[in-house]
Amino acid sequence: MRKQQSGCGGTEQLDLFVRRAHELLEAGYRRMNSDYNALEEQEITGELALEIENVLREKTIPWQRPWSVHEEAPENQEHLPVATRRKGKKRKRPDIKLRYSGQREILYLRFEAKLLTDSGAYQDLIGSDPEKHALARFLHRRYGRSDPAGGLLGYVQIGSEQEHSDRVKEAFADAKRYRILTGGEWTKIIWKNGPKHCFQTTHQRYETGEAIAIFYTFLLFR
């Protein structure tokens, strides 16, 4: 398996943004020390978002100050006429959205989470139905319509992070099915202060054909 420091094939600024988003994710995760084996996906997500918010409130590291975390913030369909947009509670909501408010631009990294409780649960992460599968929501532009990168979170409640990541890697051997671009194959990412079980692929989105880098993070909750 190839290894690399990190990167989504963009500018150095974009790569730095993605890395720091994952550093915040890991900082929040490290604060979670209760038993989460019996909790549901939304409950874990709420606790994770809260701990990330607590990290940001402390403002111990200067680069964290322009960042904020948003749980289940709705996606507005500004590209559609008002009459045909999803409105109110019908709007899609990624589980966690990290926002960086810089002097020149505002950047977002959206994360969609799924529980990993058995050997087939990885399909909830990478299945093809945008109504219920995490990866498909990014590829079909339901989430982060113009974003160059997105994140999937696997909450591991049974088995190990490695077992579940290996199942995803095996499935991705069929690169055509998952629209994985040449050079964007499954790659382990080494984060100095980020998640220990993080991987990246690069996919071609539907409709536009644009590339999107997807980061897969497997977090143990048991």
Q: Which residue has tokens 């109504």?
A: 131
Amino acid at 69: V
Q: How confident is the model at residue 127 (pLDDT cuts 50, 70, 90)?
A: very high
Cα Rg of the chain (Å, integer): 17
Dist. CA 170–CA 149, nearest whole Å: 22
Pairing of strands 198-204, 187-189: antiparallel
Q: Mind listing the pLDDT tens digit for each residue in 177-204? A: 999 999 999 999 998 899 999 999 999 9
Quote the tokens at residue 45.
Answer: 């997500």
Task: Look at residue 74 in the predicted model and tell me its pLDDT.
Answer: 63
pLDDT at 1: 38
pLDDT tens-digit series, residues 19-77: 999 999 999 999 997 788 889 999 999 999 999 999 999 988 999 999 999 997 666 55
Q: Is 212 helix (H, G, I), strand (E, B) or coil?
A: strand
pLDDT tens digits along 145-173? 889 999 999 999 999 999 999 999 999 99
Kindly list the domain boundaries of the chain, sorted by start residue: 3-220
Pairing outcome for strands 106-116 and 149-156: parallel
Residue 123, Cβ density class (10 Å: 0-12 exposed, 13-18 middle, ≥19 buried):
middle
End-to-end CA distance of the chain: 27
Q: Which residues, 6+ apart, have CB-to-CB distance to 201 below 8 Å?
A: 172, 178, 180, 184, 185, 186, 187, 213, 214, 216
